């Protein structure tokens, strides 16, 4: 697996969220690169914290906009956000444990981040595109 790059088919057509998603893809790609260059163990803590921070503020932004416009899938969507944050925190705890096979977990985290982000954008985030567009938000 080489990395993760932004593709136009990931667009939600809500400009601010597409920019944030592009930034998230780039952050996760940094993680891919670090693993390829055998720097995974050195950067995992700080990079995961960075990804978690950015993700949390992105989720808060989406949720705020959903509440403001009474988006009908708000609760289901928010549950997915909460699960993602809990999973990343779980990985952080696992990394902090003694005797963890770090090499193995680095790859598990990498695959989780890629699969989760792309799945969430395509399956959930893209559903709000037409809704917000109809409200004049592009
Ligand atoms: Fe979302
Ligand atoms: Fe999103």
The pLDDT tens digits of the residues spanning 87-135 come to 999 999 999 998 888 999 999 999 999 999 999 999 999 999 999 999 9
CA of 69 to the centre of ligand 2 (A): 16
Q: Which ligand is nearest to the CA of 74?
A: 1
Residue 1: pLDDT band with limits 50, 70, 90: low
The pLDDT tens digits of the residues spanning 22-43 come to 999 999 999 999 999 999 999 9
CA of 77 to the centre of ligand 1 (A): 6
Domain ranges of the chain: 12-128
CA of 84 to the centre of ligand 1 (A): 10
> 12-128 domain in CATH 1.20.1730.10?
no
Per-residue three-class SS string for 24-93: HHHHHHHHHHHHHCCCHHHHHHHHHHHHHHHHHHHHHHHHHHHHHCCCCCHHHHHHHHHHHHHHHHHHHH
Q: Which ligand is nearest to the CA of 54?
A: 2
Q: Which two tokens stand for residue 53?
A: 């921070």
* pLDDT given for residue 9 in this prediction: 97
């Amino acid at each position: 697996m080489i990395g993760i790059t932004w593709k136009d088919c990931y667009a939600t057509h809500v400009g601010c969220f597409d920019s944030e998603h592009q930034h998230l893809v780039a952050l996760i790609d940094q993680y891919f690169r670090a693993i390829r260059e055998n720097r995974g163990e050195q950067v995992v803590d700080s990079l995961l914290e960075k990804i978690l921070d950015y993700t949390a503020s992105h989720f808060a932004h989406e949720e705020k906009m959903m509440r403001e416009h009474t988006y009908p899938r708000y609760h289901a969507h928010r549950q997915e956000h909460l699960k993602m944050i809990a999973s990343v925190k779980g990985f952080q705890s696992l990394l902090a444990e003694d005797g963890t096979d770090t090499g193995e977990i680095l790859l598990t985290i990498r695959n989780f981040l890629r699969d989760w982000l792309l799945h969430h954008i395509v399956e959930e985030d893209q559903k709000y595109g037409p809704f917000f567009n109809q409200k004049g938000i592009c």
